[in-house]
Amino acid sequence: MNISIKNHIMSNFKGASKEDIKEAIMASFNDKDEITLPGLGVFFGIIWNKSSLEEQNKILDMLKDSF
């Protein structure tokens, strides 16, 4: 069986409210179990793909400054 984690996560959030998405993000940071990390990766991929080059550079700067 071939299961796409990305498609599964996206279908789970189809029709979700902003509050639902925010709660999922906040829960992933508060949860000690790393099972939520793939979901954050999917969220990040969506943000990255919908960002302009300027926005991508701001994201990269924020990440670089965080290490």
**Chain segment 36-46, per-residue pLDDT in tens:** 888 899 999 99
Q: CA–CA separation, 23 vs 62, rounded Å? A: 22
First vs last C-alpha separation in the chain: 38
Take residue 51 and report the two structure tokens written for it: 């960002």
pLDDT score for 36: 83
Take residue 47 and report the two structure tokens written for it: 């943000």
Rounded percentage of the chain residues whose pLDDT exceeds 70? 97
